[in-house]
Structure 1
C-alpha cells in the first residue's frame, strides 16, 4: 500500500447544506525545494552552524536559488572547546536523467563532511548518496460515505477522494489518497466524478491530472450548472521516492533525505547526536516511521506527513516539541499503530493531533503531558493504552466508537473519562490505579464489553457512570480503597460469565442494577463494611454464589428472588446471622457453609435438607453457631 504526494486544489462547493469550503491554502504551487548551507558566526548562530533553507522552485531548474528562499531555519554550533572543530555537513544535489537508477529521472543527493573547510562537498568527502526517483502512476478516485463529523456534522453525505495508484492494484487505497472533497447531506451515489489530464503550463506548471465531480442534487443524472457546480481536485505529478528502508544516524543522513517526499520502506531515526528532525517535504512512509532512542533530539517537525503504516516515537529523553502533519489540517492516516512513550520533557501532544491510527494508540510514560486530543480516531482494532502519564488530567477521543481493548492505568492526576463519551463497544476495558479518579462519569455511550475491570482507584467512590451498558462478559471491581457503592448500571441485563466484588475497604452497598437478570458466577469477597446486596435482587439463577470474608454482612435477604444454584459457598463472614434465601429451591452440585460463627447451624442444615441434591462429599457445614436452637 503506497501513496504519493502532490499539490492539489479543490474549488468551493455549496451542496446539500454544506458550507463553502476554502481550499486556497492548498492551491497548486511550484515544486518545493530545500538546501543546507554553512552559516557563518553572526546574529543567527554566534558560533556558526548550518542554515536549512526552503522555498519553491519558481523557475523549475531543479535547485533552490537564493531568490527563491522563503524560510530559513538554523542548526547552530556550540561554543568552541579545546577539542578540534567538527567539520560541517555539506550537501550537493544534482538531477538525474532517466536511466537505470531512476527510470523516470530524479535527483541524487550527496552528503559528507567538509574536511578541508572549503564550504563545498568534494568527491572524496562524500559519505552518503541517496537517489530520489521521480514516480508517476495512474490516478484513480473513490467515493464513500462520510465518517467524519468535523467535515459533515450530520454524518450524512459522501466524500470524493483521489490519488495515484502507486501499487497498481487497480483501486485507490487509503495510503494513496492525496486530495478529497466532502458533499454533505448528499447520498454518495449522486456524486459523479470524471478524470481528465491537466496540461503542462496550467495550474500545475507541468502535466498533472484533474478529477472533477458534481453533486446531482435533483437526481436526474444530469448536471445543472446553476445549482450543481463542478469541483476539481488537481494532482500535480511526479513525486520523489526513496526505495527501501532509510536509517538516519547523524546529520549527514538527515541532510541526504531532504527533498524526498515518499519512503517506500521504513524510516528509522536512531541517532546519538541529532538535535532536530525537520523534513518539510516528506509526506508518506509506506513502512514504519520509527523515532526511537535519540537522547539529544529536541524537536521533530514533519508538517507534510500524510500517511505512515506505523508511528513509533519512544525513548527520546530530550524531546520537547513534536509535529507530525498539520495539527489544524487534514488527518494523517496511520494504518496500524501510533505509540508515544517515555518522553520526560515533552509537555504537549498537540502537534500529533492529526494522526489517526487504525490499530493501536498508546500514550505512556510521558512525564509532563497534561492532556491530549486525537479528534480523527474512530476505531482501534488492537487497542487504546493510556498508562503512567503522571500529570495527565484528561484525554479527548471524541469520535472513538469501538476498540478491542481500552486500558487507562497508573494515572496519578487523571480526573475524568469524559473524553471516551462516544465509545460504544470494547472487548476489554481496564481502569486501573488512577489515584485522582473520583467518578466513572463519561462512558455515556458504552453498550457492551467482554470484560470490565475497575481496580485500585484510590479515590473512586462509586462505579456509576455506565448509563447504557447492556451486556458484559465479566465485571471485576476490586481494591478500590474509597469505594462506597457498586453498581450504577441501570440498563445492564446480562453478565455472561462472572461478577466479582473483592477487597473494597469502604464498600457498603450494591445498588442500581434494576434490570440485571443473568449472571453465571457471583463472588463477593473481603469487603469488610458491605451490608447491602440489593443490586443483585433480581437474579433468579446462578451457577456459583461465593460470599466470603465480609465482616459486617448480616444476611443475604436482598437476594430474595434467587431460586437455583449449582454451587453455594458461604464462609468466614463473622457477622452473618441469617441466610435469608427464602426463595432458594435447588443447589445441585456443591454446598459449603463454613466458619460463620453467628450463623445457626440448624438454619443451614434446614436449607441443605430442602435444596441440596448433590453428592454428600460436596456438602460441608462446619464452624458455624451450633449452640443457637432453631424453632421447629
Structure 2
C-alpha cells in the first residue's frame, strides 16, 4: 500500500481569513413611484462584504430587488429580475407580496403569500385582411376588415385568438395596403407599440404614401405578462398584480378584495374581466386597452369610482359583452367611456347612474339594454349610428325622451317599455329603419309617438298598454311594415292618423282601445294577411279601410257599438272569416259580406244583432 503525503509550510497561511464569515450587507436607494414600484419604495442591493471595509461595493452585489410600498397598509411587495428559464422563457420579473406580520417594514420570505411572474414577450406583429360581411354599416356591399396582433405561437399567421385591434374600410380587400412602424408610448398605448397604417394606393403609383393612410392601428407591447387566469381574493393578491401589464387569461375580483383596486400598468386581459360581488369602492385601470372576453362589473354595493381605459384618448376593445349591473352608487359612465364592445352592452339597475357616454361606439354588432337605471335621463350613445341587434329601453324612470343617439338603423327590435316619465318618442330624428319591431309598451305618461319623422320601414309596429297615449300614427314617411301592426289596450287612444303610406302588411290588430272611434290612417291599405278588430267600444264602422282589397283571415270580435262593416273594396278573404259578438252589428251585413268575399272555409258568424234589418 502506498500513501502520498503532501506537506507544505504554514508561514503563508492566515487561518483567521480562512474561517472568517464575511458579513452580509444591504445598500438602499430611494426608488420613485413608477415602473419598478407603483407607489415608490427602495432599490435594494445585497451581498457579502468580501473586503471587510464595512461598505457594500458594486463588485460585491449578488442580489438586486425592489422593496415596494403599497397603497394598502400592512402589505408589502418585493420585485426582482427573473432570468430566462423555466418560469419566463425570455426572462422577466417576479413579484412577491404578503402581509408585514411582524411590523418591521420588511417583507421577509416567511411573510410572502403570493408570487407572480411577469414575463417578457417579443412576438412579431402580424396582420390579415378579410371581407366584411355585406350590408353591414357603413359600407353596404363592399368592405374590408383589417386585423392585427402579436404572433404569439410563432406560426407566422394571425390566428383569431391573437387579434388585438381592427379597422374597417369601405373598399375591396384586394385594394387594402398596410405598413408597420415602431411607435413610442403615447395615447394609443402606454408602452412602445407597433403602428399599423391602413389605406389604399389611391393614385395607383405602386407606393403607399402618407396621404393615402385612412386609419392607423396600434398593437401595444406588454412589458410583463402573467400566464393563466388570476383571481384577486384579498389585498395581497391585488398588490402582487401591480406590475403586470398583460394577463394571458381571465382576471376575476372576488368578495374579499380590498376597497380599492388601482392597477396603472395593466394593459391587456386576454380572457374575461369580472368585478363581481366585491366590496370595492374604487377601481382604476387607466392603461387598459383590451379585454379578450366579456367585461362584467356587477353587484358592487360600494363602488363609486370606475376607470377602465383612457377615456377619449384610445378605445378599450372588449371582444365580448360589456355588462354594468347593480352598482347602486356609481354615478357616471365617464370612466368607461372608452369601452368598445364586440357584442352587447347591458346597463341595468344602476340607481345613481346619470352621466357620461360611450365615446367610440358608432356601430355595434350586438344589442343594447338600458334597464332600471333610475337617474338616466338621456341615452349614452351620442355617436351611435348603426345597431346590429336590438335596443331595449326598459324601466328608466327619469327618461322623458329618446335623445342621446344619432341612430339611423336598428337591425333588431327597438323596445320602449315601462319608462314612466317618457312623454314622446322624440330624440331619434335620423332613424330610418328598424328591422325587427318598434315595440312600445306600458309607458305610463307616453302621450305621443311623434319624433321619428324619417322612419321609412319597420318589421312590426306595436303599441300596447300605454294608458296616456292619444295618437299612435305619427310616422309620416313610414311606407313598409313587413310583419304587422298592433294597437292594443291603450286606454285613451283616439287617433291613428299618419300611417297613410302603408299599403301592405302582414297583420293589423286593433283591440281593446275603448276611445278609438275611427281607423283613419289606414285609408291606403290594400292587403293584409290577418285583420283583427276586437273590443273597441267606440268604433262604429270600418269604413276608413276604404281601399282594403284582400285579407287571408278576418276577425271582427266583440265591438259593442259597431254598426256597419263598410269594407266596400274588399274582394277576398281566403282562409278564415269570423264576425262574432258584435251586439249592434246586423247579422245580415256580416252574412252579405261573407257571401261576397269569403273563399275559405265556412264563415263563423254569431252573437251579432239578428233582429235588425240591413238597409
Structure-1-length-normalised TM-score: 0.77
From 544, 556, 561, give the equivalent of 1:558: 544
User: 1:120-142 CA distances to partner (integer Å, 9 max, x unpaired)?
Assistant: 11111111111111111013357
Deviation (angstroms), 1:579: 1.2
Which structure 2 residues correspond to residues 42-191 of structure 1 after superposition, within 5 A? Answer: 74-75=71-72, 88-140=74-126, 164-168=150-154, 170=156
Q: Does 1:307 align with 2:290?
A: yes
Distance in 1 (alpha carbons) for counterparts of 2:150 and 2:273: 21
Distance in 1 (alpha carbons) for counterparts of 2:392 and 2:518: 30
Which position in structure 2 is the counterpart of 1:451? 437
Which position in structure 1 is the counterpart of 2:525? 539
The change in CA–CA distance for 1:559 and 1:252 in structure 2 (over 3 A counts) is same
The change in CA–CA distance for 1:188 and 1:279 in structure 2 (over 3 A counts) is farther
User: 1:223-271 CA distances to partner (integer Å, 9 max, x unpaired)?
Assistant: 899x999x99998966211111000011100011111100011000113
Which position in structure 2 is the counterpart of 1:287? 271
From 26, 34, 37, give the equivalent of 1:34: 37
Distance in 1 (alpha carbons) for counterparts of 2:337 and 2:478: 34
Distance in 2 (alpha carbons) for counterparts of 1:130 and 1:264: 13
Which position in structure 2 is the counterpart of 1:371? 355
Bigger fraction of residues in strand: 1
Distance in 2 (alpha carbons) for counterparts of 1:610 and 1:184: 56
Which structure 2 residues correspond to residues 47-446 of structure 1 after superposition, within 5 A? Answer: 74-75=71-72, 88-140=74-126, 164-168=150-154, 170=156, 193=179, 219-221=204-206, 239-294=223-278, 296-308=279-291, 309-397=293-381, 398-443=383-428, 444-446=430-432
User: 1:565-599 CA distances to partner (integer Å, 9 max, x unpaired)?
Assistant: 22222122122111121112222332222222222
Q: Does 1:575 align with 2:578?
A: no
The change in CA–CA distance for 1:282 and 1:173 in structure 2 (over 3 A counts) is farther
Which position in structure 2 is the counterpart of 1:42? none
Distance in 1 (alpha carbons) for counterparts of 2:183 and 2:332: 44
Which position in structure 2 is the counterpart of 1:530? 516
CA contact (8 A) 1:175 1:333 kept: no
CA contact (8 A) 1:566 1:590 kept: yes
Which structure 2 residues correspond to residues 581-592 of structure 1 after superposition, within 5 A? Answer: 581-592=567-578
CA contact (8 A) 1:33 1:63 kept: no
The change in CA–CA distance for 1:559 and 1:371 in structure 2 (over 3 A counts) is farther
Which structure has the larger Rg over C-alpha atoms?
Answer: 2
Distance in 1 (alpha carbons) for counterparts of 2:385 and 2:406: 8
Deviation (angstroms), 1:300: 0.6
Deviation (angstroms), 1:523: 1.0
User: 1:499-537 CA distances to partner (integer Å, 9 max, x unpaired)?
Assistant: 111000010011211221111221111000012212222
Distance in 1 (alpha carbons) for counterparts of 2:400 and 2:36: 46
Q: Residue 521 of structure 2 aligns to a residue in which SS?
A: helix
User: 1:16-53 CA distances to partner (integer Å, 9 max, x unpaired)?
Assistant: xxxxxxxxxxxxxx9823256799xxxxxxxxxxxxxx
Distance in 2 (alpha carbons) for counterparts of 1:113 and 1:582: 88
CA contact (8 A) 1:363 1:385 kept: yes
Deviation (angstroms), 1:538: 1.5
Which position in structure 1 is the counterpart of 2:21? none
The change in CA–CA distance for 1:420 and 1:65 in structure 2 (over 3 A counts) is same
Structure-2-length-normalised TM-score: 0.79
From 597, 603, 606, give the equivalent of 1:611: 597
Structure 1 vs Structure 2 CA RMSD = 3.9
User: 1:326-368 CA distances to partner (integer Å, 9 max, x unpaired)?
Assistant: 1131111011110001011111111000000010100010001
Distance in 1 (alpha carbons) for counterparts of 2:301 and 2:194: 45
CA contact (8 A) 1:36 1:255 kept: no
Query: Matched residue pairs, number?
Result: 547
Deviation (angstroms), 1:182: 12
Distance in 2 (alpha carbons) for counterparts of 1:497 and 1:166: 49
- Structure 2: gaps of 5 or more residues: 1-32, 43-62, 133-142
CA contact (8 A) 2:180 2:194 kept: no
CA contact (8 A) 1:605 1:621 kept: no
The change in CA–CA distance for 1:244 and 1:387 in structure 2 (over 3 A counts) is same
